[in-house]
Every structure is written in C-alpha cells, then in structure tokens.
Structure 1
Amino acid sequence: MKTVFTLITLVLLACLNAKAQTDRIGSQISLPDHPRILLLKGQEEPIKRTVAADKTWEKLHTIILAECDALLNEAPIERIQIGRRLLGKSREGLRRIFYLSYAWRMTQQENYLRRAEKELLAISAFSDWNPTHFLDVGEMTMAVAIGYDWLYYGLAESSRTAIKEAILKKGIEPSLNPKYNSWLKITNNWNQVCNAGMTYGALAIFEDQPELAKSIINRAIDSVVLPMKEYQPDGAYPEGYSYWGYGTSFNVMLASALEKAFGTDFGIAAQPGFLQTAAYLENMTGPSGMAFNYSDSGLRGELQPAMFWFANKRKDPSLLWVERDHLLNDEAGKFVKDRLLPATMLWSGGVSLSSMTAPKALMWTGMGKTPVALMRASWTDPAAIYLGVKGGSPGTSHAHMDVGSFVMEADGVRWAMDFGMQDYESLESKGVDLWNREQNSQRWQVFRYNNFVHNTLTINNELQRVFEKAPISAFSAKPEFMYAVTDLTACYKESVTKATRGVALVNKAYVVVRDELETPAAETTVRWTMLTPADVKLLGKNKAELTKDGKKLILEVREPARVVLKTWSTDPPQAYDAANPGTIRVGFEVQVPAQSKTALTVLLIPEKAVKKASAKVQPLEKWPR
C-alpha cells in the first residue's frame, strides 16, 4: 500500500511540475525493450568486431575487463559521507556498475552479472543518496539505471523490484521536491549532471511509470538548454577544462541516451556552440599533455570519452588528436579511473588511430562568458611553444581571480603555470566560506584563488573586481604573429582608467606579453607576476634565466627601462591553504605616475630562440589585424 501511495504521489508531483512543460515526447509511451539506454540489444556486435580487428580498441576493452576482474572480490561500496558529499561513493558506484554491466553485455559471463547485481542491491539499500547535495543523487541514479537496464533479464525478480524502487524513491522522487531541485534553473554543470541522471532513471523504469517518466524527460530537455547557452557563441566552456570533462560529458550522456531511445535528442546537440566545444577542449591541452588549468581545474589531461561522440557527430576524426595520444601512451591505471570509460567503446564508431590526424589550425579563439585564445607552434612537435590566455570574470561559476592570466610552455616544460583548484573538502572542513563570491568574501583570501598568485596584474595590491568582465577585443591567427588582446579595464575599475593585455606567439619562436596602462589622478603601483615551477636565476635588473628539466627560458623585461626583477615565495599564508612545493613567483613592481600612460613588455624566450627575439615590440594598436 505504501508503495502504491508513493507512486501516486510521484505522479501527482510530476503532473504539477509538468504544467509549464512542452510535451516533446508526445503520444509515444513505449520504448525499445531492455536494454534501451545507450546500447540496444544486439548492438554489442559492431563493438566486438572493432575489438577483434583493431589492437587499440582491443587494448581498451581488455583494460575494462581486467578492472572488472579486479572488482569481483571487492566488497560493495558503503554509504560513507565525507562532509556534505556522498559524491565519491556515487562516482565509484557509477564506475563499477558501468564497467561490470559492459563486461556482462560483451561476454555474458555470469560472474560479472552477479557482481554487478550485488553492487546494485547494496546501493539500493542505502538510506538515501544524499539529496541535499544532488550531484550525488544524479550520478547514483545514472549508475543504478544503467545496471537495471543493461542487466534486466539477468537479474532476479526480487532484485529488479528493489532496484526499481530505489530509482523511484531515492533518485526521481527527491528531484520533484523544490527543496532539492534548484539545479533545474541554474546554468552550470549541476544542471547537466542531475538532468542526465534523472533521465537515465526515467528511461530505466519507463514501462512501469510512463507518465512520470515522460514528465522527467520533458523536464530535462527543457532545463538542460540553460547551461547549454553557456557554450555560445563558439564553444568555450566557462568553467574550464576539468568541469568541461564533467558537465559536457554528462550532457553528451543525456543526448546520446535520448537519441538511442527515441531516435532523436530533441534538438540538444543542435544548441548553438555545443558541437564547436570539442575544438575548445582539444586546444586546451598543450604539447606536454597538460591542460590550461584555469579556474577550478586539474592540470593533467586525460582521455575524454565525450570527444569520440563529438568526432562522430561532426565527422571529424582530427578532433581526436589529443585522445590518440592518450590511447597510445596512457597506462591502464589512468584509464580505469574514468567512470565513463565504457562509453568510449560505444561512441568510437570503430575509428582507427591512422584517421586521427593532427588539426590544421594552430590557434583557436572562443568568446562568451570566459573568452580564451589558445595558440601553438605545432601540433606534432612535443617541444613546440604553447600559449593560452583567458579573459572573463571572477564571478563566473568556479572561477578564480585569474582574468588576463596565461600559461606558456616550450621544450616540453610548462614555464608559466597555474595552480588550478584546491580540494574543496580541505577548505570546507576548516570552515572556509568557499562558495561566497562577494568582493570581500573569504573565498578570495584562499591563496590559489586570488590574483596575487596568477599570471596577471595586481594593481595597488587590490583584488580584481568580482562582477566585472574582460573581453577579448582583438586577435589574429596569422602564423608569424598569433595573438590575442584582452581588455582588463573593468576588472581593475577605479585603480586605472585603462588596462589592456596582449599576448603573442611570434614566428612560432617566442612569446610577448605586453600590458598598456593609463592611470587616474593618483600614483599607481602595478605588479606583474608569473608563477613557475622552474629554478629562477636573476641575471640583471631586467632579465632572468629559468631552468627546468635541463631546459632554459629567458624572461626579459623590455619596458619600462627601469625595472628590478624579483621573486616571491609561494608558501601558503593561511593554515587552510594547500602547500605549493617546487614553485615560485617571478616578476616586478613599477610605480606609475598619476594621469600617465605606460607599457609593460615582457618576452619569454626559449634558449634556442634567443637570437630571434631582437625586434622592437609594437604598441597593441599596431599589432596586425
């Protein structure tokens, strides 16, 4: 009786929520039989043929099965919450169930089925999936839905009943409660992840609750376009590299599942800028394999399953150039950390390594909420120069005070670096008010988050303005002088009347960073900073030699004429700050008179290009358009 009452309540809640919905599914109330999520019955065969014919895909397939073998004797995960999050357990649940379900579909070996069933029942027995932090519910619902759907006819009837009940009560039901579903109206990765998870739950139980399931799916299609507007106009993802890997991957999981079940993704992939975002992600990785890790991002690049979906959609295997490197060189231990890895096998389309050719364009520029310019001397030379610069705003989701910041690498060394994120729990557990973005909030006292440690300017020792924005105002992709100019003025409002930064890759040989400033009716102190993992040797007042891994880079200040280079420590100033071993800041400070104009011009010159960097640097207005 209680279950019947619960289901009636769910349907009523769904109907109330559906009043403002567009019924995109229409009168269709039936779907393909199980399995219906991502991979229909019989669609294992093309994957098996690819695995048999291609050593690369055989390797990845074998890695997944080997990890499943290792899981056979592991105990199921337990409901252990860390701080406000159960997310680590949800992610591990998704990883285990997706892997084991894939292994069962591909081999029909009973041990994979039973081990997955054991995991599903353990998770279904949790008291809840932590709806107060709904990402946890989103990922757990996706995990259980995939297992329920893919293993449906191998599961005991009692298991199906328990798992289905968990999807309803611990996944879908909380998503109908306004106390937990504010993610429906936000524009960041939460919307993408949670809507994908709820849709998977709805698809899994569609035949039992068709009206409820339709409502959940219609709601997701309406809601997910909100974060998808963030990709406009060119595909630059405002939350950066790591959160692209999160939000975009789950967005693709949503689109792919809808298309497989209904024969259409209801226009999701056609949202402006979305298909172009694959080029953004590809260009965000330097020749070293490290990412441009601005905002809350990690540094190390990794295989991105979603890129295979994009390459298929765009019929452009050159989008997989970076993925090719991962397929060739990553160790098994790195692959199996990715909970969505089996999706790579589903979306690869059997693409061969030989067809994954290098992109032709050496520069990619994206506008939008966080504009970026990404340029390189070569796609095929691991020693090539790579230069990335960003504009945007500290007020954007997961952003730092890194407006105008850049990264630079040459000879396989990341010379100008970014710390990226600090683990959230390490700050939250110490009482740091991390998610308050107000100008004077504690967030901006975290060492890795403010502008004092990023490769940008600090003016009058003040923080960048949180709710202002810096656009990219000019750029050129001409190989002899690739550049981008960012107008930083608003982010230093009241400290200067104008601040403009140009970064250029000159003749594919060296980098120029030029800042042009105009001061108000007061003397202004400007600090130019570059964070580096290199050893720094000051050669004179305006020149430094950076050394790392047997390579050298010259940092030379061309103007102003009177400048004294110095270094600053990266030791954490607060007890809650993460340690930063092996790093240092190098730069200089200048006093700019009131109501005057000045330029700061810095060259970053790899050792082999020292003789090529003799030309005078022109004012930004004369940089070739």
Structure 2
Amino acid sequence: MMFLGPGGVNRIRQRLQHDEWASQAADHLLAEANQMLDLLPVHHTLDERKVLLDVARQLAKRVQTLGVAWFVTGDARYRTRLADELVAAAMFPDWNRTHFIDTAEIMAAVGMGRDWIVSFLGTDQRSAIDAALMEFGLVPARESFLLPSAWVRTADNWTIVCSAGSIIAALALRRSQPVLSQQVIDMAVATLSRGLDTYSPDGGYNEGPTYWTYATDYAALAVAALEEAKTLGFHSPDPFASTWRFGKAMTAPSGMFFDYGDNVANPDRCHALGWLANRVRDPEAAAWQQEAPGPPRPFDLVWRADPPAKPTTRRQSAESFIEAGVTVIRSGDLYVALKGGANNINHAHLDLGSFILEVDGRRFVSDLGRDDYTLPGYFSPNARFGYFRTTTAAHNTLVFEDNNQAVAAHAIFLGSCSGIEDFSAAYRIEDPDAPCHFVRAVAVLPGRGVAIADRILPRGDTPVAADWRINTLAQVELNGPSATLTLGNKSVVLRVTGLKGADLAAARVATQPREGDNDAFTRVLCRFRVGGEPAQLNALFAAKPSDENEVAHVGRRLQEWLALLNP
C-alpha cells in the first residue's frame, strides 16, 4: 500500500506495543475516527471565496484518520466509512478546477484512500472513484501542465501541492490508465523538482512556517510515493531532508510560530516530521517529532521515527536561513527571531527588519498576523498593501516618513557569530524608494537580555522623520526612554539610547474598518529625525532596568561588529 511499504500495517501495530508516544497518538486518532463514524460524508460546498479548500482538507483528514484507524485495529467499520468518503467525493459535480489547488488536495486524498482499500471496493464504487480521479483530476492536471497554468511556471506552495496531488492520483491509476498517468507523472515530477528547489540551500522556506508545513506535508507525500515506485528513478534534493530544522527554528518556546507575513501564530502540526527524521537519521530530528506542538496526525504513525535513546537538547543556538531570510537565536529562556528576505515573495508583508521576542515562553514583541483572505483584493498587487496588517507601519521595524517599504526592497544577510555578546546576527535593509537604508543587528546578552541595534544610513542631508516601533500584548508602563512590559507575573524592561530626546510613547494599535481586530495590541514607539550623518539607535530588552551606559556599551560592541561586516 502507498506510503506503508511491505509489512507496513504490522510494523505500525507492533510499534504500538512498546512505543508509549505512538500508543498515545493512536488513542487520540482512534477517538477522532470514532467521531467521524457518526458524521455524514463530505459534501460539495464552496466558501465565500468560491474555493473548495475547507472541504478538501476535511476529506483529507477523514481519509488519513479512518485509514490509519483501520490499520491499527483491523476494524472494518473504519474501512467502510473511508469508502463512503471516497464515493461521496467522486459524486461531487466537480473538484473546482478553476482553483486547482482544491483539485490537487482532493486528488491526493482520493488517490491515497483508493490505494489503501482498493481490494475491498465494490465494482460500482471503484468505477465511480476511478472515473472522478480521471475526469476531475488527471485530465485537468494534464491540461494545466500543458497550458501551462501559473502554478506550473512559479515555485511556491501551489507548485508543490498541485504537483503532489497530481502524482498521487496518477500513481493510483497507473495500472488502469497507464498512458494518461505516465503523462501526468512526467510533467508533475519536473514541476515538483522546481518546487523542491525552494528549500535550497539550507532547508529554509521563504513563504514562512505555515506555508512550510503545508508545502512540506505534500512534498513528503509526493517524494515518498515516487520513491516507492522505484522505476521512476526520482531523487529529492538534499536540502529538503534537512528542512525539519526550519520548522523547529520557527517554533518558539511558547509553541507558537514566528508568524511573519501571511503566516499564523498557532501551528498546524507537520505530518512529515517522522519521514524527514527517518531520512536524515538525526537524533534531534527524531526527538522533534515527539516535541513539536499540536495533536498527533495519522502520518505520525505511518512515518514514526525511531526515538533516540537520549534526545539532544541545545540550550543555546543561532540559525540563519539565507534564502528564506530569517534568523532565530535561542539562549536559555530567550527567543528572538528576525525577518530579512525580500518583500516580493508570495504571502510576504512589507516587513523587512521586523522581529519577535519571547522570554520564558511569553511573547513580549508580537507580529499582528495576517488579515482575512476574503478582503477584496487581498492577493491583488494593487490592493494588498493598502490593508493595514500588510504595511510596514504594522510591523516591528523602522518606518521612514510614514511610508511603506517598497515591494522591491530586500534585506542582505550580513552574518552571524557567537563572539559578540554571545550570539549576534545582522541584516542590511535596502529599499530603492526609502530616504534611508538601515542595518539591524540583534544580539543575545547572557543574563542581561536582547539588544536590537539599528545603524541608519541617510541618502541625503534633508532631515527624515523616522519611527522605531514594536507591537505588544503586554501591559505597558512608560518612563522616558524606558518602558516596562508585563505579561502575567513576568516583566521585561525596554530601554532605548543613541539619539537625544528619544523617549518612548505608547498607544493602542488602530483597527481599520472591516479589517482585523488589533485592539489587544499596544504599540511602543520612538519617534525621531535623522539626516546627513549615520545614526544609531540601540534598544535593550532586559529583566531589570538598564542604565544608559550599559545600553550604549552594547551598542558600541554591535557597531564595531557591523563595521567589520558592512564597512
């Protein structure tokens, strides 16, 4: 059976006898499967965006959960219920080919479920399922590859998911429709390969962690299915196997993601973690399958990694993902993540230089998150950056003359090291439309906190209005150039230095009509002017108040380091 290999069902059952984590995961999945037995099968319902994604994802969850419940127990009720879901999807009037990612997800779910229970399907059931896979799936897929559709020409989550769904459906019908299936497989493999190149050079993913989970789930399914069909001779690139590090790095101690761009803070669990861990044979990857937040998913049992005898833990680490444009630094109870990259990436906001900060699992500096995808023109280049949450002003970065960063702006990663105040990393933000460039460096200071240093480089002599700003869910108490941020029983003191009269102010983040509710957030900002000579603003987040000399010392150390990196 697809994804299980020889003896896969027995392997799952045997593991449950001695693997406590897997046994608990199975209990959770069986409880979900039992609830599904009492539900009506999925039905065709377009949402207000005229897409079928919610239905497709409900179908995928049911197929995987019911299928794995059958593997674990041998109870025919789950297999019969799975067949009902497949037939219901086959009876849809269409699989919404105009929004082909809907089609691809349904293709993957139906192709997978068919492969798992094909020998138990009645003749009429199998005929209906196969006809739908061909008419609603493979034929439109072939047309999309031949046109080609936009997702065939690009390299983003659509490229991976649409290719993966096409591959799984084609492999499921490879015997009954050999010519059409092989045509689709050949074209899908070429497109998938370009999508997998986005994980180069270091396993990062430039659309961010939410879309990393989505793309990686489907990429693993496609690669696993292709490699099982050994005659295809497909090999995935090495950086893809190491991409679990990106998912782990983007997961803060709170269990929330670094939710820049259109990503969300509360993560879906990546079901490919075990597959990736088995591929790289890294004890830390195997441990991460158990430690990653979120309830277990069916493929946690299908692709269970052998847990390490002693899970590796690192109290301090710094990781930068160059093409993805993010750096994460952990040290003790501190977690800080800094956004570089480019503004013209799919799902990006105009947020170069933005960062988040957690202390003891509490997020003291937050991203506002994405807005509602149903907002008119949210994905249109002409309207998207008119919505507040996508603008530069909504993020934890510098804003010049109250303007947005350019879509063409990008951040150059200057480097990271462990020799300047423990861990440091820096980006140079280049904006063709801005009156200033700036270099932002972040450093973790053992026992003292986190420093953010901004070296501002004006392009001319005319004074420029600038804002340094952060968004926080904390209560804020101001004291000149300092602010105390309090969440529950934990406080962090922010102190800024470097510019005369640079006191801090605070105000509620505004909520725009019909847009996302920002009322829970407070903006802390420092407003100043800069022009002619370079200027540097230093900010230190610490557990206790820092005097000006201490912050200035940290700023000088970082300035010396930046001079070496960016003369």
Normalized against structure 2, the TM-score is what? 0.94
Residue pair 1:232, 1:274 contacting (<8 A) in 2 also: yes
Give the AA of the match of 2:539: V
Q: Is residue 586 from structure 1 mapped to residue 521 from structure 2 by the alignment?
A: no
Change (3 A) 1:268 1:360: farther
Residue pair 1:362, 1:376 contacting (<8 A) in 2 also: yes
Change (3 A) 1:591 1:59: same
Could you tell which deviates more after superposition, 515-524 or 608-617?
Answer: 608-617
Name the counterpart of 1:377.
331
Name the counterpart of 1:454.
395
SS at 1:53 equivalent? coil
Give the AA of the match of 1:585: R
The CA distance in 2 between the partners of 1:608 and 1:564, in whole Å, is: 15
Of residues 480, 492, 496, the one that matches 1:553 is 492
Residue pair 2:420, 2:558 contacting (<8 A) in 1 also: no
Q: Is residue 413 from structure 1 mapped to residue 378 from structure 2 by the alignment?
A: no
The CA distance in 2 between the partners of 1:106 and 1:54, in whole Å, is: 14
Could you tell which deviates more after superposition, 352-361 or 471-480?
Answer: 352-361
Give the AA of the match of 1:367: I
Give the AA of the match of 2:222: L
SS at 1:168 equivalent? helix
Of residues 54, 57, 69, the one that matches 1:91 is 57
Of residues 111, 122, 125, the one that matches 2:91 is 125
Aligned pairs for 1:360-399 (under 5 A) are 362-368=317-323, 370-378=324-332, 384-399=333-348
Offset of residue 612 of structure 1: 11
RMSD: 2.2
Residue pair 2:493, 2:543 contacting (<8 A) in 1 also: yes
Q: Is residue 267 from structure 1 mapped to residue 207 from structure 2 by the alignment?
A: no
The CA distance in 1 between the partners of 2:237 and 2:464, in whole Å, is: 49
The CA distance in 1 between the partners of 2:311 and 2:318, in whole Å, is: 19
Q: After superposition, give the CA deviation of every residue in 1:419-441 in whole Å (9 maximum; x if it has no partner).
A: 2222312x1xxxx211223xxx3
Q: Is residue 434 from structure 1 mapped to residue 381 from structure 2 by the alignment?
A: no
Offset of residue 415 of structure 1: 0.6
The CA distance in 1 between the partners of 2:148 and 2:71, in whole Å, is: 34
Change (3 A) 1:568 1:611: closer
Change (3 A) 1:227 1:361: farther
Aligned pairs for 1:139-178 (under 5 A) are 139-178=105-144
Of residues 15, 31, 36, the one that matches 1:50 is 15
Q: Is residue 191 from structure 1 mapped to residue 159 from structure 2 by the alignment?
A: yes
Name the counterpart of 1:471.
412
Residue pair 2:106, 2:165 contacting (<8 A) in 1 also: yes
The CA distance in 2 between the partners of 1:302 and 1:140, in whole Å, is: 19
Q: Is residue 356 from structure 1 mapped to residue 297 from structure 2 by the alignment?
A: no
Aligned residues: 558
Residue pair 2:399, 2:468 contacting (<8 A) in 1 also: yes
Name the counterpart of 2:34.
69
Q: After superposition, give the CA deviation of every residue in 1:476-532 in whole Å (9 maximum; x if it has no partner).
A: 1348421111111x2263412x31111111225311111111221311011001011
The CA distance in 1 between the partners of 2:472 and 2:431, in whole Å, is: 24
Q: Is residue 538 from structure 1 mapped to residue 506 from structure 2 by the alignment?
A: no
Name the counterpart of 1:606.
543
Give the AA of the match of 1:68: A
Name the counterpart of 2:221.
253
Offset of residue 233 of structure 1: 1.6
Give the AA of the match of 1:451: T
Residue pair 2:214, 2:270 contacting (<8 A) in 1 also: no
Residue pair 1:377, 1:509 contacting (<8 A) in 2 also: no
Of residues 268, 271, 275, the one that matches 1:305 is 271
Q: Is residue 597 from structure 1 mapped to residue 562 from structure 2 by the alignment?
A: no
Could you tell which deviates more after superposition, 242-251 or 357-366?
Answer: 357-366
SS at 2:363 equivalent? strand
SS at 2:143 equivalent? coil
SS at 2:388 equivalent? coil
Offset of residue 301 of structure 1: 3.4
Q: Provide structure 1 residue ranges, at least 5 long, that are not aligned to the other structure.
A: 1-34, 336-340, 379-383
Give the AA of the match of 1:374: V
SS at 2:516 equivalent? coil
Name the counterpart of 2:508.
569
Normalized against structure 1, the TM-score is what? 0.85
Offset of residue 181 of structure 1: 3.5
The CA distance in 1 between the partners of 2:6 and 2:273, in whole Å, is: 24
Residue pair 1:39, 1:260 contacting (<8 A) in 2 also: no
Q: Is residue 524 from structure 1 mapped to residue 524 from structure 2 by the alignment?
A: no
Give the AA of the match of 1:433: G
The CA distance in 1 between the partners of 2:328 and 2:373, in whole Å, is: 28
SS at 1:622 equivalent? helix
Name the counterpart of 1:219.
187
Q: Is residue 493 from structure 1 mapped to residue 447 from structure 2 by the alignment?
A: no
Aligned pairs for 1:234-249 (under 5 A) are 234-249=202-217
Q: After superposition, give the CA deviation of every residue in 1:271-304 in whole Å (9 maximum; x if it has no partner).
A: xx32232212111111121211111111123432
Give the AA of the match of 1:581: D
Q: Provide structure 2 residue ranges, at least 5 long, that are not aligned to the other structure.
A: none
The CA distance in 2 between the partners of 1:591 and 1:608, in whole Å, is: 26
Give the AA of the match of 1:546: L
Residue pair 1:240, 1:297 contacting (<8 A) in 2 also: yes
